[in-house]
Structure 1
C-alpha cells in the first residue's frame, strides 16, 4: 500500500522518469541508437494498434534512415520492413501522402543499393507511389515527390522509362517549393552531368554548399553538402 502511495506522489510531482518521445529521438537520428529507439517505439505502437497511421509512416521514415546509416548487415532488413510499414500507412490512409512517399523511398533505397534485381522489382511501384503523392499533395515535404521522380528518371535506364530530360523537369519543379533544397540541387547536378552540362552542374553543387540548413532536415542537409564538396573535388581533378 505504501509503495502505491509513493508511486502516486512521485508521478504527481513529476519525479518519475517520462517515457521517451519518439519524435524527439528521431530528431537526434544522427545518433543511430536514438533512431533505433524511435523506430522501436513506433513499431510497438503499430503492433498495439495496426490502424495507427502516424506510427506506420513514421516507422517507415525511421527505417529509411536506418537503412542508409545502420551497419551494412542490417540495412536491407530495415529497408524491407520500411516498405511494409509504408504500405501499411498507405492502406490505412490512402488519401494522405506520407505512407505512399516513404514506401517509395524505402523501395528506392533498395533499388539503388542492392542491385539490378531489386531495381527491376520495384521500378514500377516506386513511380506509381510517387505519382500518387503528386496527385494528393504536390507540395508535400517541399516537393519531395517531384524530387524523387527526378531521381527515378535519372537512375532508371532509358529502355525501362528513364529520361534525363524528365529528370531535370521534375527536379526543377521541386525547386519551386524550396529553392534552397540541398537534395534537389545535388540530384540536379548529377542529372546535368549526365546531360554533359558540366558548368551548370558545378554551379548547382556550389549552391548546395551555400544553401542554409533546414532545421527539420539538418542531418540530410549536412550529408548533401559533404557529397557536393567531394564531387566538386572530383570534377576539379578531371579538368
Structure 2
C-alpha cells in the first residue's frame, strides 16, 4: 500500500513539474511577444526602455535565453542612440554585456555577434575615438563572425559597421576611405532601403569631395520608403539626409 502511494505521489510530482514548465514556457512566450511589440513602437518615448526591461525579466528567469539577450542589446542600442550624451556610455555598456551573454549562450548566433560589434562601436564613439582604439580588433572579429554566419544580416549590417569603422578611425590606426567605400557600397546593395547605409556612404563621398554621388544617395533617402519595420529609424535618417543636403 505504501509503495502504491509513493508511486502515485511520484507521478503527481512529475505531472506538476511538467505542467509548471509548460506554464513557464507560455509565460516566456507571452513576455517575449509583449517586449517585441513594444520594440516595434520604439519611436514612441519609453517603449524601447520598457522592452529592454521585459527582456531582462525573461533573462532573470531564464539566463540561457539567447533571443532575449540579443534583443535586450538591440533595444538598449536604440535607447542609447536617443539618450543624452552623459547617459550613452552606460547604456551602450549594458548593451555590450547583454550581447556577450547571448554569445555565451549561442556562439553561432549572428544577431548576438552583430549587436555586440555594433554596441562596441557606439560605446567607443561615446568614449571618444582615441580612447577606444582597443575596440577596433574586437569589432572586426564580431563582424567577421556575422559575415560567416549571415553576411546580409541587418540589411548589410556587417559591411555597414566595417565601413563606418574604416571611415571613423584615424588613418594612422587603420582608417581607410577606400575600404570604407568598398564595404558601404556592398551594404547599400544588400540593404537598398535601409538608408543608414546610404547616409554613411554619402559621408565618405563628401569627405572625398564626390559631392554628386553623395547628393544622389541623400536624395534616395528622402524619396524613401524605408525597409519594412524601419519606420522609426527613417525619421532620423530623413532628418540627417536633409541636414547633409542643406550643407551642399
Fold equivalence (TM over 0.5): yes
Q: Deviations over 1:28-62 (max 9, x none)?
A: 11223111111000011112111000110000001
Over aligned residues, Cα RMSD in angstroms?
1.6
Q: Distance in 2 between matches of 1:49 and 1:165?
A: 45
Q: Write the distance in 1 (CA, Å) between the matches of 2:41 and 2:68.
A: 18
Match of 1:163 among 176, 179, 188: 176
Q: Partner residue of 2:49?
A: 36
What's the CA shift for 1:212?
0.8
**Which of 103, 109, 127 lines up with 1:90 in the alignment?**
103
Instruction: Give me the TM-score of the superposition, normalised by structure 1.
Output: 0.86
- Aligned partner of 1:179 in structure 2 is 192
Correspondence 1:148 to 2:161: yes
* C-alpha contact (below 8 Å) 1:25/1:34 kept by paired residues: yes
Q: Is 1:50 matched up with 2:50? A: no
Please tell me whether residue 78 in structure 1 is matched to residue 91 in structure 2.
yes
Q: Does structure 2 retain, via aligned residues, the 8 Å contact 1:97–1:136?
A: yes
Q: Find out whether 1:130 has 2:130 as its counterpart.
A: no
User: Unpaired runs of 5+ in structure 1?
Assistant: 1-17
Q: How far does residue 113 in structure 1 lie from its aligned partner after superposition?
A: 2.5
Is the 1:61–1:82 contact (alpha carbons within 8 Å) kept by the matching residues of 2? Answer: yes
Match of 1:193 among 193, 206, 211: 206
Q: Which residue of 2 aligns with 1:8?
A: none
Structure 1 position 210 matched with structure 2 position 223: yes
Q: How many residues align?
A: 218
Uncovered stretches (5+) of structure 2, i.e. residues with no partner: 1-29
Structure 1 moving runs of 4+ over 3 Å: none
Please state which structure has a larger fraction of its residues in helix: 2
User: Which one of the candidate residues 133, 152, 158 is aligned to 1:120?
Assistant: 133
Q: TM-score, normalised by structure 2?
A: 0.83
Q: CA offset at residue 112 of structure 1? A: 1.8
Contact 1:64/1:106 (CA < 8 Å) preserved in 2? yes
Q: Deviations over 1:165-202 (max 9, x none)?
A: 01111111112222222111111100111222112111
Is the 1:32–1:66 Cα contact (8 Å) retained in structure 2? no
Distance across 2 between alignment mates of 1:117 and 1:197: 27
Cα distance, 1:75 vs structure 2: 2.1
Write the mapping of 1:59-74 to structure 2, written as runs, cut at 5 A: 59-74=72-87
**CA 30–212 in structure 1, closer or farther in 2 if over 3 Å, else same:** same
Task: Say if 1:60 and 1:85, in contact at 8 Å, map to a contact too.
Answer: yes
Equivalent-residue separation in structure 2 for 1:221 and 1:126 (angstroms): 25
The corresponding residue for 1:106 is: 119
